[in-house]
Amino acid sequence: MDISKVKVIGIDKIKFPEMIQIEQNVPDIHLTNIFETVQKQIAKTKFNKKIKEGSKVAIAVGSRNINKLADVVSAIITEVKKIGGIPFIVPAMGSHGGGIADGQKKVLRDFGISKESLNIPIISSMKTIKLGETKNNIPVYIDKNAMLADAIIIVARIKPHTDFSGDIESGLLKMVAVGLGKHIGATTIHNYGIESLFKIIPEVGLKVLEKAPIVLGIALLENNFSKLSEIVAIDPENFLEVEKKLLRKEKQLMPKLPLSEIDILLVNEIGKDISGAGMDPNIIGRSKSAEKNIGKNIHIIIPLDFTEKTHGNAAGIGLSDLITKKLFEKIDFNVFYTNLLASNGYLEGKIPLVLKNDEYAIKVAMKTLNKNCENVKIVRIQNTSNIIEMEVSKALLEEVKNNKKINIVGEARRLKADKGGNLLTYPY
């Protein structure tokens, strides 16, 4: 049946509430000179002593849309060439990009990382070498091209993981263990279950460091505006302890939705480039993991679109309650299922109710709340990496005014959709 023909009784009586644009009052402290920062950081390490003239150096880059990532990689390339190294890029993204070499290369291209833009080869392959097993008999794999290089540099953002908590979450060691392990490595690790990841990722990562020619890590931190705020170059023997410190720092700085209760959360875009779960569970309070499924009093979540860079990977769609026909038709099930099954993320892959457009989905959600339209508490964000600016319905105005950390920056305007039922962007 055509979803667009499905009708819900009473929807025509539902009216959108007025919305107000607000912003959280937090400082925007970020780096402005990426090349100089990378140069100074690398100079503090033993890197220059480990690279000889003609050394082949693999630079491992993942699948997250990190601010200024291409500039960081370009700066690393400059430093490698300066001491006579021959750099090339390897995708380090586990099963992402559909779990195929060309797909992973395409992911990097979206971030401005390509042979044309950086003038070095992008060597993408799903072939791996088994390095052995950990003390607990966990098989350990690494990208073959990286392993055959003379040296490997790991580039990774430090951030809380979407499914588990620990001293080490998303960062250098996860990139080493899961990203460089390609599809087989990612699948092997996730097969041990979410509850074991906080132990397994460091265990596998340290085994790779022991066996592979990893000579440097470049750790990246972003601020609340998703801008690069810190770059730290780390010698491999210090990965574990330095990453622990950086993760603690990142957790303290991580932004939050500043409202106590939300009836409907509208997310303009979700995607694998934003979060491994499409929407960051640390923000929305929902996860396939009981540990992260902490409930933030958000009753209904409606994602409105995918990012272009997610390439139809609908990871995390199961964390939402309603979706639209437009969103559903953009799902690339081959890419989606490859990544989903590699991470055993069945819950995040469940398909919610599908409605014909944005307007219909929002009004169906409002109808189920059994509230006067003007009393519905709606919050609209761009994505879970960008929650400094947002729109809130007038039902939240009193709470907003009583919060000194929130500024009102726009006039009240009623939420609007175009003739096709697609929600318009502010100002309407």
All CATH 3.40.50.11440 domain ranges in the chain, comma separated: 34-253
Q: pLDDT in tens for each of the 428 residues of the chain? A: 688 778 888 888 899 999 999 999 988 999 999 999 999 999 999 999 999 999 999 999 998 889 999 999 999 999 999 999 999 999 999 988 888 999 999 999 999 999 999 999 999 999 999 999 999 999 999 999 999 999 999 999 999 988 888 899 999 999 999 999 999 999 999 888 888 899 999 999 999 999 999 999 999 999 988 999 999 999 999 999 999 999 999 998 888 899 999 999 999 999 988 988 889 988 998 876 555 555 568 999 999 999 998 999 998 899 999 999 999 999 999 989 988 888 776 777 889 999 999 999 999 999 999 899 999 999 999 999 999 999 999 999 999 999 999 999 988 999 999 999 999 876 54
pLDDT of residue 21: 95
pLDDT of residue 332: 93
CB 51 within 8 A of CB 407: no
* 283 phi, psi to nearest 5 deg: -95, -45
- Backbone torsion region of residue 277, taken as left when φ is above 0, otherwise alpha when ψ lies between -120 and 50, otherwise beta: alpha
Beta-bridge partners for 190: none
Who's near 345: CB < 8 A, 6+ residues apart? 277, 288, 315, 339
Domain 34-253, architecture per CATH: 3-Layer(aba) Sandwich (3.40)
- Kindly calculate the radius of gyration of the chain based on its CA atoms and give it in whole angstroms: 22
CA 13 – CA 370 distance, rounded (Å): 13
CA 39 – CA 37 distance, rounded (Å): 5
327-350: pLDDT as tens digits: 999 999 998 998 888 877 677 788
